[in-house]
A and B are shown apart, each in its own frame.
Chain A
Amino acid sequence: MSIATQSQSDLTVVRWQRGVPVFGVPVRTRNFYFLLALTVVGFVLVIYRQVAGLGAATGLSDGFAWGIWKTFNVMTLTALGSGSFPIGIAAWLFHKRRLHAVMRTTLLISLLVYFTGLLAIAVDVGRPWNVYNFFDIFRWNTMSPMWEVLWCMPLYCLFPLFLENTPPVLEQAYYFFPPIRGLVVWLVPIIRMTYPYVVALAYTLPMMHQSALGGLMLMAGTQVQALWQTPLLPLLYMWAAAWIGVATTIGAMMLSCTAWKLPMDQSILDELVELMLKLIKWWVIVRLADIVIRAIFLGQFFKMLTPWYLPMLFLAEMLLIAIPAWRLQRPEVRNNHYQLWMNCFYIVLGGLGYRFDPTTFAYRHWSRTYYTPAIAEILISLGFISFCIIAYTAAVKRLPILPAPVEQWYESEHYYKKIYPYIQLSGHGNENQYRPHYAD
């Protein structure tokens, strides 16, 4: 390779090195106001639901006691925010160092999705004033999956996930708000000291409550159709959450990079795709093996075929997962941004389908009561989702979250210096204070 081409390739290969705010882009755009309006409508309707009661605000009935708040916002959508634990485990425990670059983004997505999931539970619960039972150990039924969801999800969201999301905020405060510097410098060693314990908790808790979400439908027994109902449901739910989360992270990173014209690091995207494909491959094998074993050895074959539309649904979700995963094995598909994004989109769709179907379509399929979500229900659900989106866009524009090449960091310094002349993002005099304590 000649020197000329080498330098050329150095120029074209992008490496994500640091989290950098998306600078020079306004937060309050037209889309922002539209989504903000949806959010406000959603939150106003939350008040309406609290005053009017569940019956008036929702389409729920005794036949279908759980609506989209639980089945979609909590049991399905939280999978989107589960990217942080598989990526974190790959990065920290399996030495995939490069994946640290996307940690801040995936942690932010996790926080927002889980936070709105918690709100959805709070809105859905019919007797919220009795939540004090959480703290009465003598009333706990620890074997109930619902208990685990109700305890584990808030714990995860409010403790490890929250702490993991503080570094970008502290960092920004350090640069842009000098009076707080002393506090940040004092806090950072403490955060570093507790980090392994917090991070380990951040991997254990999602595994627990994501499997408990599968456990929720386990308790419905034979009321869930045999294609979905299996004692492995908790494991498959948790596992599906892992790769749905990774696919969502890829999709969100690519969307953000496209929307704000940021460079994409193909090597990290490749590594994420590899991680996702590994997870999907074994998930599909276990899922199919479980079905074959139950169909042949436990005689559930004919139960699986009725009613006719459920096997179709099963086929649709499996194909939505398997075909894109198969195609993504080829490097030319991965390197094509459009193809990569679309295939990740199909995988997320299939995964969400897998998590949604046993709660609604495959549940009590003989029932004569139908459930149609009320408009208020849909608007509240949409309000939560739009809240996630506006909070995400606002956060990445103000905080160093999205990864970028280090040149972007210097450019951002150049940009911010015009507005805040006192800031200094590079070549610090007091770096030593901020420098971590580490073993020799």
Chain B
Amino acid sequence: MSLSRRDLLKIGVVGGAACTLPAVAAAKEHAVTAPPNAVGMLYDSTKCIGCKSCVVACAQANNLVPDTTLDSIHQAPNDLNAHTKNIIKLYKGEGANAKEYAFVKRQCMHCLDPFCAAACPFNALEKDPQTGVVSWTPDRCIGCRYCQIACPYEIPKFEWDAFNARVVKCEFCGQRLAKNQEPACTFVCPTHAVIFGRRDVLLNEAHKRVKNSPGKYWNDHVFGETEGGGTQVLYLSHVAYNKLGLPSLPADEHPGRWMRYSEIAQKWFLLPIAIYVGIVAKLKENFREHEVEMNEEHKKTGLIPQI
């Protein structure tokens, strides 16, 4: 078989096009949809009294060891960490807004298209196809911490002190859901600031609240409806969401947006295989020429040829 450089190029272009065109077509219709039975939480910052009952209930329900980050006071972490899957934080205004304040419950958002699950090499972090809960399987995790790099909400936490380190994040009280109980935090909330339900129902409820009291909520916007393709934990607040530490992600900011083009190259490894086959074909021909040349050299000098 003799192949010219042009033939090689043809093989590459045709092969590449043949395997990438369907992928390009597939890449365009990368829409994010909610799982059929997506569960959700709706947190209304205007109703929250900051009692931290949910933090305690979460620690109890998930058997988390007491957090002793601060001296002389326990269970008072300043952020999510390896012993805290759920936390109530306080936003305080500055300058002209000095009197403004708001509580915010930070936990895993359970994105509709989660970055962490897309990043995880061995599917240790997985989104349940029915409920949409993103949970972590210990024996699949190799501890590469890519989920921490990828998550735009900075939610997954790593147990840095432990020998057998775990990735810690809210898993929607999976053990309670299995027993038909709602998550511990929504169960104990005294003011119903955070409520549990189906995502579509909660989204309607949030829209109803916005409609009933126009101007109460910031920009009449429900955080989590479209952010990063949508999340299953929804927020309502009277202050801007980025003041609460929730990043303002565009609606198309999900793994599909960034990986669209590399997915094309990676799909079924068709492109690498096409490249490999092309190179082998060309190499075999050149290799034979090279051997002939090497042999002449050998005859001339009497030295054993080097590969």
Contact = CB atoms under 8 A, between A and B. Distances in A.
Given A19-B306, A218-B258, A219-B119, A62 B154 contact: yes
Interface residues of A, number: 82
A23 interface: no
A409 B303 contact: yes
Interface string A118-154: 0000001111101101101001111111111010000
A296 interface: no
Contacts of A174: 304
Interface in B256-286: 257-263, 265-266, 272, 275-276, 279-280, 282-284, 286
Contacts of B287: 92, 195-196
B230 to A, nearest CB: 15
A438 B305 CA distance: 13
A62 B291 contact: no
Given A19-B306, A130-B142, A143 B118 contact: yes
B249 to A, nearest CB: 7
10 contacts: A53-B162, A60-B160, A63-B154, A133-B140, A141-B118, A171-B306, A215-B259, A222-B253, A234-B262, A438-B295
B302 interface: yes
B307 A219 contact: no
Nearest to B161: A55
A304 interface: no
A60 to B, nearest CB: 7
Given A18-B303, A150-B121, A66 B140 contact: no
A167 B120 contact: no
Nearest to B8: A93
Contact of A203 (B143, B255, B279, B302): B279
A207 interface: yes
Given A127-B143, A221-B152, A438-B295, A93 B165 contact: no
A65 B303 contact: no
Contact of B266 (A65, A142, A200): A142
A232 B291 CA distance: 39
Contacts of B257: 221
Given A127-B142, A204-B275, A219-B258, A53 B150 contact: no
Interface of B: 5, 8, 79-81, 115, 118-123, 139-146, 148-150, 152, 154, 157-158, 160-165, 247, 249-250, 253, 255, 257-263, 265-266, 272, 275-276, 279-280, 282-284, 286-288, 290-295, 298, 301-307
Interface string A395-422: 0000010000010010000000000000
Nearest to A364: B154
| From B247, B291, B301, B307, residue with most partner A Cβ within 10 Å | B307
A219 B150 contact: yes
Interface of A: 18-19, 53-56, 60-63, 65-66, 89, 92-95, 97, 104, 124-128, 130-131, 133-134, 136, 139-148, 150, 167, 171, 174, 191-192, 195-197, 199-201, 203-204, 207-208, 211, 215-216, 218-223, 231-232, 234, 363-364, 400, 406, 409, 425-428, 431, 434-436, 438-439
